[in-house]
């Protein structure tokens, strides 16, 4: 991320100004908003108060605990950078796509058209949009190239937080105070298959990009500190009820707008893309105050942290951003080498063991769902007919923007490719050659699958199980019938 507080004469990197559609005579005013703040609409040639550049691509991040994640990133992080602006500032978001596929941007703080400016950005392209941050709050931004790719890229990791600080602050500021510690906190889910991403069954649930990040590195506070959490549940599927053991909220603000204030409470409930501003004090007594989602399945999956309260903490971090951790390329290389497990929603990794079809099971099906194959690795006896069925549904566009898929072998004893499959459409192929078949979906070439075709005869002979009975019994039978004949013969 690059943050520029530019003066008008520093705009040499400015994108060519977009020609807007003709507007009516209130074009820079506020249409139909008597009594309401204006929308975020500004002419795209205005000078921004703040400019951010976000770089979208595909890549790996390290989640901690020996786990590497291969997905989609913003500024090489998951979550992407935390963007902070003040109410009524004019904000420019420049979006750079350094990836191999289209990306784009949805900016929830922008109450104006963004899709046509930054919604769809081809590989290698840079686009930009400007808006006025008229409504304070805690907002999500995320990749949104259009259609089916909007949920999929978000599910794969491209999101972050943008906070619009209110001009007059919250109750705390109205009392003439300010927070001692500000934690920008994102809860988000990581999936090991595209199917899990669709059904909402995450493998990990993280705070700010790392498993148990604030258990490993507790947030230092002092009794009496006033703490504010800018909380965004990215999801993208599961609710969070954020809670701190030993704390009752003083004030919480739904979506971070200062007018939506509640008093007290043990939790805040947040669905995907819901947000809260949470104000509380560290109580007078030292000790650990545990931060947790009270949806406890998610807590065991990684969403626990610690506020460590001590009078001895002379220095504390006053601002903790929601950005995921960043690593040097050397560190990432090391993580890749040493990773105990690599996960990815759309390609086989070491944790995707083959799903084995036995000869008796007679059939094999691969679901195509959530821009991935399920199972990602299938092992079938030679001669098996494998059926692929497309369970993705959004089919109004093409390429990356649609849930239209195919199956195209990239290496293997036999090469084949299916036609493009719409929702519910099937393709079958009977594997007659033993070997490993690697395949992709051509419109989404990061989607990878494998079929391992085995010879069950060879397979069974390598097993220790009691198959010998099949050989032994006929032999015994033959022996019982033939041997007397032979014996009799030789007696003759």
Interaction residues for a second copy, span 188-247 (CB under 8 A): 197-201, 204, 211-212, 215-216, 223-226, 235-237, 239-241, 243, 245-247
Cβ 7 to a second copy shortest distance, Å: 26
Residues 112-131, mask of contacts with a second copy (x by CB under 8 A): xxxxx--x------------
User: How do the residues of the chain divide into helix, strand and coil, expressed in percent and rounded to 5?
Assistant: 15, 35, 45
The dihedral through the CA atoms of 360, 363, 369, 373 has a sign that is: positive
CB nearer to a second copy: give 98 or 423.
Answer: 423
CB burial readout 315-343, b (16+ within 10 A) else e: ebeeebbbbbbebeeeebeebeeebeebb
CB nearer to a second copy: give 396 or 416.
Answer: 396
Residues 29-58, mask of contacts with a second copy (x by CB under 8 A): --xxxxxx--xxx-----------------
Choose one: 9-17, 71-79, 93-101, 250-258; the region binding a second copy (CB under 8 A).
250-258
Q: Which of 9, 12, 284, 314 binds a second copy (CB under 8 A)?
A: 284
CB nearer to a second copy: give 7 or 468.
Answer: 468
Q: Which of 7, 419, 466, 491 binds a second copy (CB under 8 A)?
A: 466
Report DSSP letters for 397-453, one per residue: S-GGGS--B--EEEESSS--BPPPB-TT-EEEEE--S-EEEEEEETTEEEEEEEEEE
Q: For residue 312, which phi and psi values (nearest 5 degrees)?
A: -80, -10
Cβ 182 to a second copy shortest distance, Å: 15
* 478 near a second copy, rule: CB under 8 A: yes
For 353, counting Cβ atoms within 10 Å of its Cβ (0-12 exposed, 13-18 middle, 19+ buried), the class is exposed
In angstroms, rounded to a whole number, what is the distance separating the alpha carbons of residues 189 and 199? 12
Cβ 10 to a second copy shortest distance, Å: 26
* 470 near a second copy, rule: CB under 8 A: yes
* 273 near a second copy, rule: CB under 8 A: yes
Q: For residue 488, which phi and psi values (nearest 5 degrees)?
A: -60, -40
In angstroms, rounded to a whole number, what is the distance separating the alpha carbons of residues 309 and 225? 9
CB nearer to a second copy: give 97 or 114.
Answer: 114
Neighbours of 107 (CB within 10 A): 26
Cα angle for residues 283, 285, 289 (degrees, 5° grid): 65
* 144 near a second copy, rule: CB under 8 A: yes
* 270 near a second copy, rule: CB under 8 A: yes
Contact 220, 317 (CB under 8 A): yes
Cβ 450 to a second copy shortest distance, Å: 17
Residue with tokens 């990009």: 209
For strands 355-356 and 377-381, give the pairing.
parallel
* 423 near a second copy, rule: CB under 8 A: yes
Choose one: 14-22, 69-77, 313-321, 324-332; the region binding a second copy (CB under 8 A).
14-22
Q: How far is CA 297 from CA 50, 196, 265, in A?
A: 40, 15, 21
CB nearer to a second copy: give 10 or 473.
Answer: 473
CB nearer to a second copy: give 10 or 167.
Answer: 167
Q: Give me the count of residues in the chain.
A: 492
Q: Which of 9, 264, 314, 328 binds a second copy (CB under 8 A)?
A: 264
Q: Which of 7, 9, 16, 175 binds a second copy (CB under 8 A)?
A: 175
Q: Which of 167, 168, 178, 271 binds a second copy (CB under 8 A)?
A: 271
Q: How far is CA 102 from CA 51, 153, 342, in A?
A: 22, 10, 24
* 403 near a second copy, rule: CB under 8 A: yes
* 297 near a second copy, rule: CB under 8 A: yes
In angstroms, rounded to a whole number, what is the distance separating the alpha carbons of residues 340 and 395? 38
In angstroms, rounded to a whole number, what is the distance separating the alpha carbons of residues 242 and 230? 12
In sequence order, the 6+-apart residues with CB closer than 8 A to the CB of 177 are 226
CB nearer to a second copy: give 124 or 271.
Answer: 271
Q: Which of 85, 91, 96, 152 binds a second copy (CB under 8 A)?
A: 152
Cβ 9 to a second copy shortest distance, Å: 27
Choose one: 327-335, 413-421, 442-450, 476-484; the region binding a second copy (CB under 8 A).
476-484
Binding positions for a second copy, 342-401, rule CB under 8 A: 351, 353, 356, 358-363, 365, 370, 381-384, 392-396
* 289 near a second copy, rule: CB under 8 A: yes
CB burial readout 189-216, b (16+ within 10 A) else e: bbbbbbbbbbeeebbbbbbbbbbbbbbe
Q: How many residues bind a second copy (CB under 8 A)?
A: 169
Choose one: 68-76, 318-326, 440-448, 450-458; the region binding a second copy (CB under 8 A).
450-458
């Amino acid at each position: 991320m690059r943050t520029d507080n530019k003066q008008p004469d520093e705009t040499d990197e400015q994108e060519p100004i977009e020609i807007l559609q003709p507007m009516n005579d209130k074009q820079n005013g506020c249409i139909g908003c008597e009594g309401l703040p204006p929308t975020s609409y500004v002419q795209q040639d205005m000078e921004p108060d703040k400019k951010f550049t976000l770089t979208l691509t595909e890549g790996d991040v390290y989640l901690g605990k020996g786990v590497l994640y291969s997905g989609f990133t913003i500024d090489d992080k998951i979550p992407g950078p935390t963007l902070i602006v003040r109410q009524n500032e004019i904000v420019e978001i420049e979006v750079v796509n350094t990836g191999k596929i289209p990306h784009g941007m949805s900016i929830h703080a922008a109450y104006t058209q963004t899709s046509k400016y930054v919604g769809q950005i081809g590989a290698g392209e840079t686009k930009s949009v400007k808006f006025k941050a008229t409504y304070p709050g805690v907002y999500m931004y995320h990749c949104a190239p259009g259609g089916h790719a909007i949920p999929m890229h978000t599910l794969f990791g491209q999101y972050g937080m943008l906070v619009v600080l209110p001009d007059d602050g919250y109750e705390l500021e109205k009392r003439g105070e300010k927070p001692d510690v500000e934690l920008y906190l994102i809860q988000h889910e990581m999936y090991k298959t595209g199917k899990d991403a669709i059904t909402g069954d995450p493998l990990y649930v993280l705070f700010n990009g790392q498993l148990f990040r604030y258990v490993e590195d507790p947030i230092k506070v002092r009794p009496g500190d006033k703490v504010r959490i800018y909380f965004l549940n990215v999801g993208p599927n599961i609710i969070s009820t954020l809670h701190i053991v030993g704390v009752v909220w003083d004030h919480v603000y739904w979506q971070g707008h200062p007018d939506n204030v509640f008093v007290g409470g043990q939790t805040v409930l947040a669905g995907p893309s819901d947000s809260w501003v949470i104000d509380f004090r560290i109580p007078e007594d030292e000790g650990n105050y545990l931060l947790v989602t009270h949806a406890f399945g998610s807590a065991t999956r990684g969403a626990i942290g610690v506020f460590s309260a001590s009078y001895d903490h002379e220095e504390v971090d006053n601002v903790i951003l929601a950005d995921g951790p960043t690593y040097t390329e050397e560190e990432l290389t090391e993580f890749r080498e040493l990773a105990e497990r690599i996960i990815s929603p759309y390609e086989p990794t070491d944790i995707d063991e083959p799903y084995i079809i036995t000869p008796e099971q007679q059939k094999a099906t691969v679901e195509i769902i959530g821009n991935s194959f399920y199972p990602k690795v299938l092992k079938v006896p030679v001669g098996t007919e494998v059926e692929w069925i497309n369970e993705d549904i959004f089919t109004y566009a093409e390429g990356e923007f649609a849930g239209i898929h195919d199956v195209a072998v990239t290496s293997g004893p036999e090469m084949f490719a299916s036609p493009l499959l719409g929702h519910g459409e099937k393709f079958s192929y009977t594997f007659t050659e033993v070997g490993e078949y690697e395949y992709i979906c051509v419109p989404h070439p990061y989607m990878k699958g494998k079929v391992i075709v085995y010879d069950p005869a060879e397979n069974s002979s390598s097993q220790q199980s009691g198959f010998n009975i099949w050989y032994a019994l006929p032999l015994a039978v033959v022996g019982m019938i033939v041997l007397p004949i032979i014996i009799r013969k030789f007696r003759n």
